Structure 1
């Protein structure tokens, strides 16, 4: 029973107040503290943006062409996800720097457990066979990597961000410029779609941002201002410093696909002097590379598992292409490497390139976006209007997974375009809102939080008592960040 005081010395009210359980109360609860409505909105924008990149068929983003602005979702949506993940981890680990050692250990183990679960979900979703790059496996690794540094000071975190951006990021870009192949682990965290220095720098930046007052309008405005400055510096610098067509190979594009592109068997065929794209296990589509000169034919030069092969340089690079030259060769393809190609890779602002232009420019873009979302989430009226978006953002792991599973049914994702994106978002938005109103936390978020908390306690060797009233017999465990 609850009671109210009308004033100092006033008698207790004889009529107990009843908690409101109507739809209005449930609606408000979605955006009520301790939840940060602006954070949920930013997370929802990241999810919706990734869905658009996967099935919306947006064009390549060009600042000077408003018709291409929908292409802003490429790369930047996942970077926004990384930034928000860092903020959520900061909220989860607040007080860890002054907590006892056992509490710090439990907090870190909870992050590791969460990372393991998210990584496992990513592996399962990859079995769907969708054509998109599943981000969850990489995100799971990020949680594990961040766990040891959550207790670091803000100064040390910023120093690590600077090292990632200025030193490690360019090294990874240089590795890509030399076409370093690497193995499966290197492809996952360094040479693939999600180069670790870029995404880890964004997560750590979010960790720093989350240590401040997320309800401060002044702080949100500062984030927008700093983000705009970084956007101008990153994209402007990339435009000025990148050589023209630095990354474009000298390929003569066919003007008439019907007569210039032919399908050929993928084995026992001399394709030297051609650039080829594998269509399936048995065939590739090829066109001749302009100015290619090959001294000797290279039979069977279409390698298993490759998606894009420039066969004009296959005779002098790669791993053991010709047994007569020995069983090992340098994994670096440097025969056609030029200073322009290196410079282009280092300053590139293209999505998923890992260049300084992307790290600084796109990093500034997502920082400004988060600041704007935090500002919009402050007024109560706006929070009420943004409830459906915030509800979707409160269960991103579930929504993202449902989107990936939709690739099981081709008509759910084809043809790629605006209508397919609208259809998916139009289903996921009310479904997430209805779930949040009736059941609260998303199913995969609930499962991940439970497994992570159990992992932390079991691994730390404590016996967990679960009193029904949640009293002092239950060890304190950090709340989970609502991110995949």
Structure 2
């Protein structure tokens, strides 16, 4: 007679498989997508004279896009050797593949840039980040950590020194809009905007991909690493935000910045909590002491990197819990996260259809957001169940494979 112990499978926790690790990463990517959709469709400030921040602005502004960028670095690490970076011919092949994939993403971003839409489209900056991180793909973990910390500490200072020079050029090296195909004819303003003066300054944002590479080179299948990501990430995020708040409120930073702020339509108290985009951070070194979203200062980069690490850790732990329960708890998030390029692009295209137009009768901003989120999750689940990549993901994968094989030309 078969014993009860052998007749039923054990419910003891088992090590997370590579597939479940990837499900956790995809789930984090899905969270980033839904957070970015929220900042696009829901107000981040109240419609009053003081621009009072909404909970959407306080929660998602700056953090969702940063999570998206950090996960790009994680994905690159996982696709190029995981814990062991590639060397020699393998490294050259990996760099070719990433470069061709970046060109696909850039083409999509430049095409979307021609739309009239009140969304800061990240894709061209995202593609350029892929190209800028190529020299770092072969570095070992300790060296990567040093580069990531150094970039977080120093790049905001260099950017602060360079931005006024770029803005003083005639014309200023700044687009003030999403980059599109036509901007290729004026490369200097385009590159100035992409690297330093635009919404997602690549020069400082490279820190996010370096942090992502560090995370991706860790032993993510062990239980200790996700716990460390969650705890250390939370601690770093909290400390950076606390220092930024103290610098502004207790050490004289906000009083000093009020004296140099030349944007009366942007109340400093509100924008420091939600979004510094559109404000020229110059005239006072106190700008570098802020932890404001989209300020790209050291404290902002540290805070949002910490948040991203904590989210990745939490999602990996949820993936392990799902394994233990034999339930796919992360399916809605990971399904959307597995095809973010397609879903993000479709989302931007749909939003452009309502630019400067009232919402359809009976629709609210909340309803529009939930429609976008539900559609993204539903479409993602369908593709997961069919075991298919999204259309743009397939194109990016094909470009990556072509680059790795060395067959760049047709045929």
Q: Same fold (TM over 0.5)?
A: yes
Identify which of structures 1 and 2 has the higher relative contact order when contacts are C-alpha pairs closer than 8 Å and 6+ apart: 2
Q: How far does residue 156 in structure 1 lie from its aligned partner after superposition?
A: 1.9
Q: How far does residue 216 in structure 1 lie from its aligned partner after superposition?
A: 2.1
Residue 219 of structure 1 corresponds to 225
Q: 1:353 aligns with which of 292, 295, 304?
A: 295
Structure 1 unaligned runs (5+)?
1-30, 255-306, 311-332, 465-484
- CA distance 1:357–1:103, change in 2 (3 Å): closer
State how far apart, in whole Å, the 2-side matches of 1:386 and 1:186 are.
Answer: 40
3-state SS of the aligned residue for 1:216? coil
Residue 422 (1) aligns with residue 367 (2) = no
CA-based RMSD: 3.2
Q: How far does residue 169 in structure 1 lie from its aligned partner after superposition?
A: 1.6
Residue 36 of structure 2 corresponds to 50
Alpha-carbon displacement from aligned partner over 1:240-281 (angstroms, at most 9, x marks no partner): 113125544367679xxxxxxxxxxxxxxxxxxxxxxxxxxx
- CA distance 1:35–1:227, change in 2 (3 Å): closer
Relative to the length of structure 2, the TM-score reads 0.76
- CA distance 1:219–1:35, change in 2 (3 Å): closer
Residue 395 of structure 1 corresponds to 339
Residue 311 of structure 2 corresponds to 369
Residue 156 of structure 1 corresponds to 143
The structure whose residues are more often helix, as a share, is 2
Residue 440 of structure 1 corresponds to 388
Residue 144 (1) aligns with residue 131 (2) = yes
Alpha-carbon displacement from aligned partner over 1:179-232 (angstroms, at most 9, x marks no partner): 654332111111211122432111111111111221222211111111122122
Q: Is the 8 A contact 1:177 1:342 kept in 2?
A: no
Structure 2 unaligned runs (5+)?
1-16, 47-51, 174-188, 267-276
Q: Is the 8 A contact 1:173 1:353 kept in 2?
A: no
- 1:75-224 aligned at under 5 Å gives the runs 75-94=62-81, 101-176=88-163, 181-182=172-173, 183-224=189-230
State how far apart, in whole Å, the 1-side matches of 2:85 and 2:368 are.
Answer: 49
- CA distance 1:46–1:100, change in 2 (3 Å): closer
Structure (1 or 2) with the larger CA radius of gyration: 1
Residue 271 of structure 2 corresponds to none
Bigger shift: 363-372 or 36-45? 363-372
Q: Is the 8 A contact 1:128 1:405 kept in 2?
A: yes
User: How many residues get paired?
Assistant: 349
State how far apart, in whole Å, the 1-side matches of 2:62 and 2:128 are.
Answer: 19
- CA distance 1:250–1:143, change in 2 (3 Å): closer
State how far apart, in whole Å, the 1-side matches of 2:395 and 2:81 are.
Answer: 22
Alpha-carbon displacement from aligned partner over 1:257-307 (angstroms, at most 9, x marks no partner): xxxxxxxxxxxxxxxxxxxxxxxxxxxxxxxxxxxxxxxxxxxxxxxxxx9
Q: 1:342 aligns with which of 269, 282, 285?
A: 285
- 1:246-265 aligned at under 5 Å gives the runs 246-248=256-258, 249=261
State how far apart, in whole Å, the 1-side matches of 2:53 and 2:327 are.
Answer: 29
Q: Is the 8 A contact 1:395 1:441 kept in 2?
A: yes
Q: Is the 8 A contact 1:231 1:360 kept in 2?
A: yes
Q: How far does residue 407 in structure 1 lie from its aligned partner after superposition?
A: 2.3
- CA distance 1:439–1:246, change in 2 (3 Å): farther
Residue 38 of structure 1 corresponds to 24
State how far apart, in whole Å, the 1-side matches of 2:134 and 2:264 are.
Answer: 49
Alpha-carbon displacement from aligned partner over 1:402-453 (angstroms, at most 9, x marks no partner): 1011024218995573222111112221121112212521111011110222
Q: Is the 8 A contact 1:109 1:147 kept in 2?
A: no
Residue 244 (1) aligns with residue 254 (2) = yes
